[in-house]
Amino acid sequence: MSSDKNVKTIQVQPVIMAGGSGTRLWPLSRAGYPKQFLVLSGNESLFQQAARRLADLGAADIATTAPLIVGNEEHRFLLLDQLRETGIEPGAALLEPCGRNTAPAVTLAALAAVEGGDDPVLVVTPADQTLTDPAAFKAAMQQAVREAAGGAIVILGIKPERPETGYGYIRAEADGSGLKVAAFVEKPDAATAQKYLDSGDYSWNAGMFVLRASTWLAALGQFRPDILEATRAAWTARSTDAKFIRPGKAQFAAVPSESIDYAVMERCPGSAFLLRMVSLSAGWNDLGAWEAVWLVADKDAEGNASVGDAIVKQSRNTFVHATSRLVSVVGLEDVVVVETPDAVLVTDRSRSQEVKAIVGQLHAQNRGELDLPRKVHRPWGWYDSIDHGERFQVKRIMVKPGASLSLQMHHHRAEHWIVVSGTAEVTNGDQILLISENQSTYIPLGQKHRLRNPGKVPLEIIEVQSGTYLGEDDIVRFDDTYGRS
């Protein structure tokens, strides 16, 4: 807060949209662990980077509150864990029971923001972008906040660097001291994108929006009242559990699915709503496909970039991402190779947008490689399915200090637990025992059991399952710290 009493402070409510699936970055990005939670640039996940950027918007006339996160119910613990690693506490996590695109997501945030009678400026950003110049981002966003405080709807535009067909475009015109949006253009073909680039009149749509909560609700009410009323009904039927706010499940499922652009932004030019653009020059990239990841990566003299244990020889402009083993390539040009423990992708770099076709086929075949990686994160830690075969499966399990799995039983499998490091507190039927390193226990089929880490260091065990069915849905939970059914 400024000491100057004549300066009116603008209240800003950051909103991070974290519900995307990132299908074009398969096989690293999965439905159960999408790209916004991955470390693809820098040392933090894209979601964590977004949270840090929005926490640093304050000025003498701008006060920023704790962020609202709009995300998927299935990712709720990932959201909180990753935020807390940055030291940022969310204002709330608004959990969508199903995906309904970005317009309903922003509407949930706007309804939450005005709940106490306030009308803050919403700064809405996706959770899956990266920037190289935080200071330039801050300056542009502060300008956008000040324009939005006066009632404008402000969108961030990026000067095009290439004829990109994967982005939407904005045509803006000079208007006094700023830029007024004249038109939106959807993702063009290559020839049209080149024309836009050559003309110099177009900007990439960064997918960041700044506007008062009341302005969004008014605009949506004019252009898409069906979305507003359906989302309002879901908000009215919400339930609250600590930081988690869940809109009514049945009501939210009935909300029409639509993007911010289609629902409101493209309808604003020529209407009573003033739509302005602030140019952003901050090394922006939305990492929407593997080519975009290659663009921001450090490269050698031949334009090659690699992550992990990779050897690249006699190749040019190639990207290799190795997750679990050595990956070697020779004589490649403009190729992407991505290795994970359970899937490998090889694609022409310029066609990496088409990875979504592979994801579509995986979905049609109901294959497990679509949803979860081999290493699966849970609120208590993680497990890595290191081997499996007929009637057996082997997992490596890590439990955080003080955390525990649910009290549960299985109808179709028995389990052997061997402690690798740390100390395990094991509930095995009526017994509760402590197991140290190199000790083991056996959980018979049908026995109630629980694993807890009573120590101050991570607990690691090897779990060997045996039985007629080993699926993750063979779990009957009797008690769970994390509210899972």
Q: Over the stretch 336-390, which tens digit does the pLDDT of each residue have?
A: 999 999 999 999 999 998 999 999 999 999 998 988 888 888 889 999 999 999 9
User: Tokens in use for 438?
Assistant: 């190199």
Phi/psi at 195 (5° precision)? -65, -40
* Tokens (6 digits) for 481: 């710290």
pLDDT mean over 297-315? 96
Position 3 confidence tier, pLDDT thresholds 50, 70, 90: very low
Chain segment 108-143, per-residue pLDDT in tens: 999 999 998 999 999 999 999 999 999 999 999 999
CA distance 225 to 231: 10
What's the rounded Cα separation, in Å, for the pair 106 and 124? 8
Q: Residue for token digits 């690691």?
A: 460
Q: How would residue 222 be classed by pLDDT, with cut points 50, 70 and 90?
A: very high
pLDDT at position 6 is 64
Q: pLDDT exceeding 70 applies to what percent of the chain?
A: 98
Q: Which pLDDT score, from 0 to 100, does residue 2 have?
A: 44
User: What is the mean pLDDT of the segment spanning 277-304?
Assistant: 93
Half-sphere exposure of 454 (CA within 13 A, CB side): 11
Output the six-digit token pair for 388. Answer: 């499996």
Structural domains of the chain in order of their starting residue, each with its CATH number: 10-280 (3.90.550.10), 295-364 (no CATH), 375-479 (2.60.120.10)
What's the pLDDT score for residue 5? 58
pTM: 0.87
Res. 178 pLDDT band, cuts 50 70 90? confident
Identify the pLDDT of residue 360. 93
Rounded mean pLDDT of 53-68? 93
Give bridge partners of residue 14 from the DSSP assignment.
123
What is the average pLDDT across 145-164? Answer: 93
How many CB atoms sit inside 10 A of residue 289's CB? 24
- Per-residue pLDDT tens for 6-19? 668 999 999 999 98
Model confidence at 481, in pLDDT bands (50, 70, 90)?
confident
Residue with tokens 């706007």: 110
Count other Cβ atoms within 10 Å, centred on residue 195. Answer: 12
Q: Work out the average pLDDT over 23-38.
A: 92
Residue with tokens 């200071």: 135
What is the band of 84 on the pLDDT scale with cuts at 50, 70, 90?
confident
pLDDT at position 4: 54
Q: Give me the residues paired with residue 203 across strands.
A: 170
Q: How many CB atoms lie within 10 A of CB 394?
A: 16
Identify which of 162, 199, 155 has the alpha carbon closest to the alpha carbon of residue 179.
155
**Hey, which residues does 448 pair with through a beta bridge?**
none
**Token pair recorded at residue 260:** 């911010």
CB atoms within 10 A of CB 282: 21
Which is nearest to 51 in space by CA: 99, 10, 17? 17
pLDDT at 1 over 50: no
Q: What is the pLDDT of residue 485?
A: 62
Rounded to the nearest 10 degrees, what angle do helices 102-113 and 213-223 cross at? Answer: 130
Mean pLDDT of 278-299: 92
